[in-house]
Homo-oligomer: A and B are copies of this chain.
Amino acid sequence: MSLPLTIESNSCCVPRVTSTASVEDAERAARVFKALGDPTRVRLLSLIAAGEGGEACICDLTEPVGLSQGTVSHHMKLLAEAGLVTREQRGKWAYFALNGSVLDAAADALRTT
């Protein structure tokens, strides 16, 4: 395993974990990973990824995870606040899509090579 030799910040929004992280960098990175650190939120992300066109209506997310719409809305709010998903209101329903750039930045933050 080779380790990064220089201080490096991710171009988007999740600083590299495996390099020198300032307190602020660490807080930003931890915020994203904390949002990912819940099994229901991981499943919600995977359901959105599997949705038609890479998006999903909140109305289609409640049944697969077996939780109330209020609880699912709360999880989606945390994912949106972390920047992991984008939200679009269409009439009665909110639609969510993965935010690929933040997911990829979070992935890059963990790279050891």
User: A: which residues have CB within 8 A of B?
Assistant: 1, 3-4, 16-21, 23, 25-27, 29-31, 33-43, 45-46, 49-50, 54, 98, 100, 103-104, 106-113
Q: Choose among A29, A45, A104, A110 the residue with the greatest number of B CB atoms under 10 Å from its CB.
A: A110
Tell me the complex Cα distance, A76–B108, Å: 22
Question: In the complex, what residue of chain B is closest to A102 when comparing beta carbons?
Answer: B110
B112 with A18: CB separation less than 8 A: no
Tell me the complex Cα distance, A109–B110, Å: 11
Instruction: Report chain B residues within 8 Å CB of A100.
Output: 1, 112-113
* This chain's copy number in the assembly: 2
Tell me the complex Cα distance, A29–B104, Å: 16
